[in-house]
Structure 1
Amino acid sequence: MNDTSHTYNSDRYFREALMAATGFREYDARWVIEPTGDGTPVGLNYVGVRTLGLHLGRFLADRLDAGRRIVVGHDFRSYSENVKNALVVGLLQSGMDVVDIGLTTTPGAYHAQFARDIPCVAMVTASHNENGWTGVKIGHRKASTFGPTEMRDFAAYTLEGRAEDTENSRAGSYTFDASARDDYIDSLVESWTERLRGLPRVKVAVETGNGTAGLFAPHVLERLGFEIVPGNVEPDWTFPHFNPNPESVPFLRSVESLVAGSGADVGLCFDGDGDRLGVIDDRGSLVFADRVGLVIAKFLEERTGSSGPFVIDVKSTSLYESELNSDVVWAKTGHSYVKAKVAEVQAVAGFERSGHFFFSEPLGHGYDDACVAALALLWMLCSAKAAAEDASLSQQLAALPTSFSSPNRQPYASDETKYTVVDRLAAYFEQRESLAGKRITNIRRINGIRLELEDRSWLLIRASSNSPNLVIIAEAFDHDGTVLKLIDAEVRTAVAETGVDIGRFESLAEY
């Protein structure tokens, strides 16, 4: 089944399941299903998707005792409905009762779990990955998606073909629910209307990069009374301008131009499946999501009297620990990890630097939803505008201690080697007492390696969980960003001296 020697355009492709083992990642499943043009091999075919559905249904019902009802949806790509349909065939073969909500965002699928009281979800999406990729985000409880344990067990169960040797005890059923999209939008408008009542509105530039979120976010904001400056919000599965990824520089630069040209108070960009948010301030400057989360957390402390805790991932700024009165809980990077940690510690909210925001009741249901994140940010801005003090986002950010953060750089490292590469680089740095002339005071190994320095500066190197890349991020607290450049130079020295095989990554001067 995980034999990748199938020829994409061949008779065998239609007869035998193709499902590369590397597609089962830490908390998502993702494969190339159509050639991408960059040499990444096709790792999944439609026979493989049907097989995946068969095993998923039986794994959920028999191994996890999660019941036999499941919500299924798909994102806006040319092949996503075909992938979903093949997955549904397999789920029906397994005996699952499928509620198909069609074209939706990932939060839209999560919402349907709550609205329809259905325990399981399978959302067909490649999120921010380039065209040619597909994947499935899987949940076996509300506000909970598969983590590494479930993914590891599910991968073994599927790749070994265990469901193919079992008898089906019942026939599955199929229902198409055309009302789920409107129900999700209506629910957001209803839940936020009272919170925003009486507050002045701000002008919002909205960019969805022609992804699925264009069918949702602009409508929610307009119905709540915000003036919208739309970018590329009409869905187009060719993504003619840029990939809708809130960590992609071309995507973010377009929103900067949109804000600057319109006089908007804030710019919001939504990723391809609507669960991540990128932010541009009123001056047209990129704001990394960890800082957005920090100012929202400060607002919630003040507005609601919350004492936390708040959950953050290892890519986040160290300012959370110095700027908040609440307890701060660290988590591994990844929506499944942060979501689980928010539930475990009963956090008010969780923030991930990639743009996933998790709000517990009463603001949200605990899962990552870019629309809810946008509304929380806009609530803060509207409240500040009403108070006529530090009204703008740039003013609120300026009140934080100054630091210099690098972009999220992701040099190529194959799925087969990326964890070994991180281990070799970690071993190199663990022998060091200092970095960029600063004493290393703490090393976190909960996810890759995060080196924390005496002045709160830090460096993180980890393996991406859902693509063949490393993740390299740093933050410096000097007066001019020199430390950031020194850290960058030492990372490049480490790569050269360890001889690890990774792709080129941008210099800081390129941003």
Structure 2
Amino acid sequence: MTSEQNKNFDLSASFKAYDVRGIVGESITAEIVEAVGAAFIDVLGLEGETVLVGGDMRPSSPEFSQAFANGAARRGANVQLLDLISTDELYYACGALNAAGATFTASHNPAEYNGIKMAKAGAQPISSESGLKEIQVLAEQYLNEGSIPAAAVRGQIGVRDVLRDYSEYLRQLVDLSGSRPLKIVVDAGNGMAGLTTPAVLGNKLLPALPFEIIPLYFELDGSFPNHPANPLEPENLRDLQAAVIKHGADIGLAFDGDADRCFVIDEKGEPVSPSAITGMVARREIARAQASGEETPVIIHNLLTSKAVPELVAKDGGRAVRTRVGHSFIKAVMAEEGAVFGGEHSAHFYFRDFWNADTGMLAAMHVLAALGEQDGPLSELGRQYEPYVSSGEINSEIDDKAGAVERVRLDFQNDDVEIDHMDGSTFSAKDGSWWFNLRPSNTEPFLRLNAEAKDLPTMEKIRDRVLALVRA
């Protein structure tokens, strides 16, 4: 680091609730990253310990990985550089090696962004409530003082590849060798799934599975030349949907930039909702846990997933636990409850066997196993898990979000409804025919609506009534 007079670093713009994200060259630079690496060691007490550092395919990731490693080594930690990794590869490494780590990624954000996701040993999440705030404060102090103090013994920096170990571990969790042959289109969006898919599902490192994989955008390119690596936006799924139809594929998989989320397309080119995937994987994980002697396996779902999920869990002999939205909440409740699996409406899927961390690849493998062990198409299989009709998430730009919610409450007060405030406001018809949730965004001027009903006319009627009130 260079010493300059009168620097006043404020990292609050890039330090979020769960990670660090900023624009390269502005709110995230090599100098800032080096200070964060040093603060990471000090706050977590890692002097003399091994820490793991990797990054995605963004052009700045190698430089940032090295800068973080330099800061960490200066404070006395031994660093293993993991090179190119998906975010769930970091979680695997932190769990399997019982070491803290960091990876450089901005997930699905545009090309000009980069960021840092950090984890404690055992892949425990780091958030603003569990060390991230302290890391920010100490990094700012080092930057404003113009230097990072040297530890008594500088740490060593080495290199380690975990891709094979990660791939072997996932294959142990879900045995796909007995599947019927499947034709799979995978859209990696020029992100990290372009590296992990051939390793896990292909024959690049391990024996071939009975799959024909048709690759879309496997070239690692952090400028995202084909489409943004955000499958949550429907327009980013169009190439995958067209390719599934063109090739007569059984299934399509779309990963986000750092490959920790996975979206599924059926053989007709139609999306299978993350709620349906949650139900499908939950059924498999409940059966597996029961087979090993667990009486009532716990499944976590956030309050925006379909009510089909808790219904299915109860029917299969599990216990469903409803949580707020957000991975730090899910991971905390997973740990508290000893849950076997957790799913979110945003296609984050969490596994006890994966240190309660989220992994898109493991969720995809469960779906492939469910599809491959029966003869029907995915559209039929998925329909079992989607008995209700959902609106998807609809954003309204509102200045007075509280006032808009109050208008809705007053309008619905004479209906036979229950309201809870676990995360925003959830209105549920007492006869079970519909529910909707209104959540204010913490970071944007949006009020978010999610609605679900027993049939399309009911869902549309509720959706339109709420939107008219919100946008009045």
Q: Does 1:339 align with 2:331?
A: yes
Match of 2:164 among 182, 195, 208: 182
Q: Does 1:133 align with 2:109?
A: no
Distance 1:463 1:76 in 2: 33
Root mean square deviation of aligned Cα:
3.1
SS of corresponding position for 2:43: helix
> Offset of 1:453 from its aligned partner?
3.2
Match of 1:313 among 291, 302, 315: 302
CA contact (8 A) 1:277 1:355 kept: yes
> Offset of 1:410 from its aligned partner?
5.2
Distance 2:400 2:81 in 1: 41
Gap change, CA 1:157 and 1:224, over 3 Å in 2: same
Q: Name the residue aligned to 2:321.
A: 329
> Offset of 1:189 from its aligned partner?
3.5
CA contact (8 A) 1:204 1:266 kept: yes
CA contact (8 A) 1:293 1:357 kept: yes
Q: Does 1:171 align with 2:153?
A: yes
CA contact (8 A) 1:298 1:324 kept: yes
SS of corresponding position for 2:153: coil
Gap change, CA 1:66 and 1:207, over 3 Å in 2: farther
> Offset of 1:67 from its aligned partner?
7.1
Q: TM-score, normalised by structure 2?
A: 0.86
> Offset of 1:300 from its aligned partner?
3.4
Distance 2:56 2:110 in 1: 13
> Offset of 1:127 from its aligned partner?
0.6
SS of corresponding position for 2:306: coil
Q: Name the residue aligned to 1:60.
A: 44
Runs of at least 5 residues in structure 1 that lack an aligned partner in the other structure:
1-10, 35-41, 386-390, 414-419, 497-511
Task: State which drifts further: 122-131 or 183-192.
Answer: 183-192
Q: Name the residue aligned to 1:204.
A: 184
CA contact (8 A) 1:18 1:44 kept: no
Q: Name the residue aligned to 1:351.
A: 343
SS of corresponding position for 1:48: helix
Q: TM-score, normalised by structure 1?
A: 0.80
SS of corresponding position for 1:72: strand
Gap change, CA 1:175 and 1:433, over 3 Å in 2: same
CA contact (8 A) 1:214 1:233 kept: yes
Distance 1:175 1:258 in 2: 43
Distance 2:407 2:139 in 1: 37
Task: State which drifts further: 289-298 or 70-79.
Answer: 289-298
Amino acid at match of 2:466: E
After TM superposition, the structure 1 = structure 2 runs for residues 146-157 of structure 1, keeping only pairs within 5 Å, are 146-150=126-130, 151-157=132-138
Distance 1:401 1:246 in 2: 20
Q: Name the residue aligned to 2:33.
A: 49
Q: Name the residue aligned to 2:358.
A: 368
SS of corresponding position for 1:123: strand
Q: Does 1:142 align with 2:119?
A: no
After TM superposition, the structure 1 = structure 2 runs for residues 11-410 of structure 1, keeping only pairs within 5 Å, are 16=7, 18-34=9-25, 42-61=26-45, 68-118=49-99, 120-150=100-130, 151-159=132-140, 168-192=150-174, 195-222=175-202, 223-302=208-287, 305=290, 307-325=296-314, 326-361=318-353, 364-385=354-375, 391-400=376-385, 402-409=387-394
- Between the two proteins, the alignment pairs up a number of residues equal to 456
Amino acid at match of 2:16: R
> Offset of 1:157 from its aligned partner?
4.2
Gap change, CA 1:16 and 1:91, over 3 Å in 2: farther
SS of corresponding position for 2:114: strand
> Offset of 1:200 from its aligned partner?
1.8
> Offset of 1:140 from its aligned partner?
1.5
Query: Kindly, what percent of the aligned residue pairs are identical?
Result: 25
Gap change, CA 1:308 and 1:175, over 3 Å in 2: same
Kindly provide the CA deviation profile for residues 290-342 of structure 1, in whole angstroms up to 9, marking residues without a partner as x.
21111221233346536321001122112222222221112222223212221
> Offset of 1:69 from its aligned partner?
2.4
